[in-house]
Amino acid sequence: MEADSLTEDREIVLASASPRRRELLGQIGIVPEIIPSTLEEKITTDRPEEVVKELSLQKAADVAERCVKGTIVIGADTVVAAEGRILGKPRTHEEAERMIALLAGKTHQVYTGVTMIVCGQEGRARKTFAEKTDVHVYPMTAEEIHEYAFSEEPMDKAGAYGIQGKFASYIKGIDGDYNNVVGLPVGRVYQEMKSLLTLTARRNNG
C-alpha cells in the first residue's frame, strides 16, 4: 500500500513549520498542509522521551481543534539529549559552541515524539510515540567546534547541528533511524498511521 493511497481523500496537516519534516513526508508521498501550532508549550517532565511525546501531543491537539472531521494532524517534536541533559535550539552561537563541545567525541541520543490525531474521532483515533536514535560523534578540535558553531547551520536545530548538513563530517555512525535525527521517523509514521486508520475504519464500520 502506497502512502498516497493510504491517505487518499484525507487532508493531512503537519503541525510544524519545519521544512525538513515536510520534505521527509514528501519522500513517502505525503504532501501535508502546514499549520504550525501557536500553543505555549508546557513540560511536566525532564525525561527526553516523555518530553517529546508531551510536546508532540500538545502541538497536534492544538491544531486538530481547527481542522475538519477526517483530517489527520501530525505533531512532532525533536530533542537531543547528551549525558542526560536536553539540548534545545541554541539562542546564540556561543551557546551552540558549548553544545557541540558537549557532543564531540561522544555518543548522544536524539528523540522525536510524534502524535497523530484523526479529527472528529474519539478514543483510539489518536496515537503518540517516541523514537530514539543513538548518534556517535568523532572527536573535534576546538577550532572545528568554533568554526561550525559560528556558521548559520546550528541556529535552528535541536542540539545545534544538522546531520544532513556540514556536521556530517563529524558523524561516526548511528544506531537507529537516520530520518529520526533529521526530524521525523517517517517509516514508523507511515506504519503507525496505517494502523491508526485501520482501527478507525473498523470502529466506524462496527
Which has the closest alpha carbon to 57: 83, 71, 30, 39? Answer: 39
- Phi, psi torsion values for 164, nearest 5 degrees: -90, 5
In whole angstroms, what is the distance from residue 25 CA to residue 134 CA? 22
Can you read off the three cell numbers belonging to residue 197? 486508520
Which of 77, 156, 175, 177 is labelled catalytic? 77
Element (H, E) at 137: strand 126-137
The answer to whether 9 is a known catalytic residue is no
Q: Where are the alpha helices (DSSP H) in the chain?
A: 3-6, 19-27, 48-64, 93-103, 142-149, 178-182, 186-205
Helix, strand, or coil here: 84? coil
Cβ-count burial of 27 within 10 angstroms (0-12 exposed, 13-18 middle, 19+ buried)?
exposed
CB under 8 Å to 3, separation ≥6 — which residues?
28, 29, 30, 190
Q: Which residues are catalytic?
A: 77
